[in-house]
Amino acid sequence: MSRVVELARLMQGNEAAAEGALAAGVRFFAGYPITPSTEVAEIMAERLPRLGGKFIQMEDEIAGMAAIIGASLGGVKSLTATSGPGFSLMQENIGFAAMAEVPCVIVNVQRSGPSTGMPTAPAQGDVMQARWGTHGDHPIIALCPSSVREAYDLAVRAVNLAEKYRVPVILLMDEVIGHLRERVVPPPPDELEIVSRREPREAPADYYAYRAGADGVPPMANFGAGYRYHVTGLAHDEKGNPTNDPATAEALLLRLHDKINRNLDDILMEDSRSLDDAEIVVLAYGAAARPARQAVKEARQRNIKAGLYRPLTLWPFPTAGVERLARQAKTIIVPEMNLGQYRIEVERTVRGRAQVVGVNRVNGELMAPGEILQAILEVAQA
Amino acid sequence: MMEELERYLRKDRFPHMWCPGCGNGIVLGCMLKAIKKLDLDQDRTVIVGGIGCSSRAVGYLDFNTLHTTHGRALAYATGIKLARPELNVIVISGDGDATAIGGNHFIHAARRNIDLTLVLFNNSIYGMTGGQYSPLTPAGKKATTAPYGTIEPGFDASELARAAGATFVGRGTTYHTELLTGLILKGIQNKGFSLIESVNACPTAFGRRNKMKGGTEMLLWQKENAIHINRAGQLSKDELEGKIVIGELHSYEAPEYTELYDKLIADVRQETPGPSIKPLKVK
């Protein structure tokens, strides 16, 4: 029996995100050029028409985000890609997608900020913005890769989660991962799990666009499919019609959060190294997880019981995973290329049961293993 | 006629939210008459609105309806139309929504000549927030944010759309309903970007503050001050000062965006794909 084997390729992180999204069925891209994410748009412009899909360069990131929501309502899996300043501009419409439950994926290749910052330099300064960038209490999922292959896999996963839970999903990359080139063997297409939105089975007259079943996710009728309904960013009832009724508005908001919170087992992904007996745990994500892994390895060589915990799903926060660390570890070290945005969440969960130490860098350079190792050694010797 | 239009309404959503004397219902009626005459399939028609009094109309209409964020209706509509070119896409937007916060999307949708029909409800004011001046408020008029009269010149939205690349531009008023209906009909028929600007009365937030009395008087003002394009050509610039030129202002043939994109897809799929890494077959 013969089987198809994909050849290894030297692939860039941004390319992997684009190819992963295409493999997951994305056939629409709208965006605006911005360093260091532009390669995603360029690849989409070249690849999509060949696949029968559509690419459009919009007048700004606000329009890019709006257009992918429109295309997704039309039934086409949709993607945009941007970086810090563009991510800021997208926030209002990301909130719309969360409120109106329109599946879509936003790739944010983080660069040094605030403002224009250092456009070609890496950072992890958008961690909190990915969670709370748009106004109001809203659900969100953010995934964070640490390698090129993982950018591919998490792009597939991001599309799947967006479709399954009808929620905007942020693929939170950074300039290091976006521009990194690594050897990648893409998974064979027939081995990929591809998820598409659940469509209604009932007759149009019986369809309530925002009435959810047991999983909290309403089936989604695509525009043009014969189900005429209303989509709005206003608080709305199960028909989708606007309302100011306090009970209806509250029930909607609680369901939007509940559909994520009750499916954490499915949504949360994590990775770990030498964690079993670890007394010092390095909790790291994205580019910072690469030097963190090296630092843990070197600490082990010095007989220090160090381990790595790496959340791939940054949001929703992996509370149960960090709870485990709080019970097990004496110290949790959180290296970040920001001033401690995720560390605050770790401290909030740990509640003093373990020491939480930040290693932070905001100079536009990638963290080095040595500075994380230094933190491990200081803790071990204390 | 009214009964024939009821099939296009979500009657359980009434009463509507508009003030007595508001022109929005008149424009909406003209739009539905045009849709009726064209016999558009409700299942295959999408109506997109922005934010503001007029944009709320989409909630009353029994189509695939999308009420978006402020100013962005055309950007959402662009995504829908490009993803699903076979759907009819009509956009409803107010003057502030379309030409202030949404001004960028307005000129770029026109530039692309994407097959969208924008029905612009121009009441010269932000009604929903209580009467602030917009880019289409005529210079000198009063608003809550221009208590001494606005010192900013206004846009000519129709001229702006024409210059940006729209292939059909028409202007009507809520007094000249037959004309307005015909313009919307032609706009929907046009394969490309169409703007139909409707001069619309807002007695509550604009008329009251500018000594124009009530809705009836504002309709009569439209009657007195509108000049059809066929007659406007015979008048001097001075004679046209302060007048509203109505009718079919601009009509032009140019390639439509989604058709160009479909052709692009067909072309690149016919080409031999360039060198790329192909999967290996192994035993």
| ipTM attached to this prediction | 0.97
What pTM, to 2 d.p., does this model score?
0.97
pLDDT tens for B37-58 read 999 999 999 999 999 999 999 9
The pLDDT tens digits for A295-335 are 999 999 999 999 999 999 999 999 999 999 999 999 999 99
Contacts of B84 in chain A (CB under 8 A): 71, 74-76, 223-224
CB contact under 8 A, B78 and A70: yes
Residue that is written with structure tokens 């991001």 in the block: A158
Q: Which two tokens stand for residue B229?
A: 């394009």
With b meaning 16 or more CB within 10 Å and e meaning fewer, what string describes A336-353? bbbebbbbebbbebbeee
Please state, in angstroms and as integers, the Cα–Cα distance from residue A371 to each residue in A274, A282, B280, following that order: 20, 12, 44
pLDDT, one tens digit per residue, over B123-136 is 999 999 999 999 99
Nearest Cα of chain B lies from the Cα of A57 at a distance, in angstroms, of 11
* A163-A164-A166-A167 Cα dihedral, nearest 10 degrees: -90
Lookup result for tokens 């040595």: A370
Q: Which residues of B touch A6 (CB under 8 A)?
A: 279-280
pLDDT of residue A337: 98
Q: Are A221 and A207 in contact (CB under 8 A)?
A: yes
Residue B278 has pLDDT above 60, yes or no: no
In a 13 Å sphere around the CA of B254, the CA atoms on its Cβ side amount to: 19
Size of the A and B interface in Cβ pairs below 8 Å: 154
- Cα–Cα dist B185/A55, whole Å: 30
Lowest mean pLDDT among A12-21, A236-245, B234-243, B266-275: B266-275
Q: For residue A20, which amino acid is it?
A: G
**Is pLDDT of B279 > 70?**
no
pLDDT in tens, A64-91: 999 999 999 999 999 999 999 999 999 9
- Structure confidence by residue, pLDDT tens digits, A81-140: 999 999 999 999 999 999 999 999 999 999 999 999 999 999 999 999 999 999 999 999
Token pair recorded at residue A381: 């010797």
A60 vs A369: CA distance, rounded Å: 38
**Chain segment A143-170, per-residue pLDDT in tens:** 999 999 999 999 999 999 999 999 999 9
In 3D space, the residue among B134, B155, B136 whose CA is nearest the CA of residue B145 turns out to be: B134
In the structure encoding, which two tokens stand for residue A24, read together? 């997951």
Q: What domains are there in chain A, each with its CATH number?
A: 9-191 (3.40.50.970), 271-381 (3.40.50.920)
User: Which domains are assigned to chain B?
Assistant: 2-270 (3.40.50.970)
Q: Say whether B87 and A74 touch across the interface (CB within 8 A).
A: yes
Residue of B66, B113, B270 for testing the chain A interface, max A β-carbons within 10 Å:
B66
Cα B170-B172-B174 angle, rounded to 5 deg = 155
Are A241 and B59 a contacting pair at CB < 8 A?
Answer: yes
Residue B280 reports pLDDT greater than 70:
no
Report chain B residues whose CB lies below 8 A from the CB of A92: 69
Among the listed residues A24, A17, A245, the one whose alpha carbon sits nearest the alpha carbon of residue A156: A24
Average the pLDDT over A249-254 and give the result.
98
Q: Average pLDDT over chain B, rounded to whole?
A: 95
